[in-house]
Each structure stands twice: as structure tokens, then as C-alpha cells.
Amino acid sequence: MKFSNLPPSINFKQYMIMKYPEFFQTVRELKMTISDSFLPLCYCIYISKDLKKCVVRSNLTTWDMTDVSYFILVGMYKWQNFTYMNTRSVTLGFFNDKLDPVNSIRFDKYELTEINFSGDTFNPYQQNSPCYHVKDTSTGQSLSIEQIPLANFQQVLNTIWEAENKE
């Protein structure tokens, strides 16, 4: 069996990133150095300043950052189980509008701390679905958001804002 060896998280703080194109070039180079199994497909989720809207792009391109407060990068890599080849997603990082890595995306009462991808590596017919880790900042209680594809990230924001507006 051959599996890609990926670190659980990538430390972007070691890179001095000044400009947007340099940032994406660094991401491309990082993907190549981590594993030759990374695919060109990379989801970029741009979240607006009011944290209520987003734009999801399925490629690594520049974007007008004037109304962006955060963005999320998710890469895909291929893995092989005997003769079966499949892909897996991994979160490359959360970033603010200054291209600095951040640990979470903060809302009024909640924060998005992580996006994991569930699936059984040994099951060739696995689901590769995101699991969004959202918690209440005052109580620490988790808000369960699962099975929403990255392409529909707007639903994740809507769910968070519904929880924000309760009470």
C-alpha cells in the first residue's frame, strides 16, 4: 500500500509572503514539496468582510480582496490502496485578508476552527466529505455541521449565522 505522507498542518508562518501572486506561488511550491501526489485542483473559499457571503473557486487563482476578510485553501491529493487510486482533501490553511495564517475564523459568538475530511482510507468507495468544526466561544459547545460540500460553503455560513441569531 502507498499513502501520501502529509503533515497534519502546514506552517505558513515560516514564509515571508508579501504579495498575492507570491502567496499562491508559495502554495504551489509547498504542495509539490510535501507530496508529488497533490493534484492541481485546489479550492479557494473567499469569505466577505461581513462574514455572511462567500465565493468558492475550484482553482488557485488571484481574487479581488477588497471585500474579503478571510479565505480558506483546500488541496487534493491522490492515494493508492493496492490497485485502487482515489483522491483525498486536506485543509492547507485559513488566512486573513493580509495573507497571514490564522487559527480560526471568528464570528460574533462562534468560530470555525478546522475543516476535516471524513472517509475510510481502506474503503475504495469512500465518501470524502468535509466536517466543519465550529464552537461557541463562550461555552465551548460544538455546532455540528457535516455533509455540506465545499462548493456549497454558503450553507455553512448560513448555518453559523442561524445559530448566531438564536437567543
**Ranges under pLDDT 50 in the chain:** 1-18
pLDDT tens for 37-73 read: 666 677 889 999 999 999 998 876 666 778 889 989 8
What is the model's pLDDT at position 121?
57
What is the model's pLDDT at position 10?
44
Pairing of strands 142-146, 129-136: antiparallel
Closest CA to 160 of 49, 46, 51, 45: 51
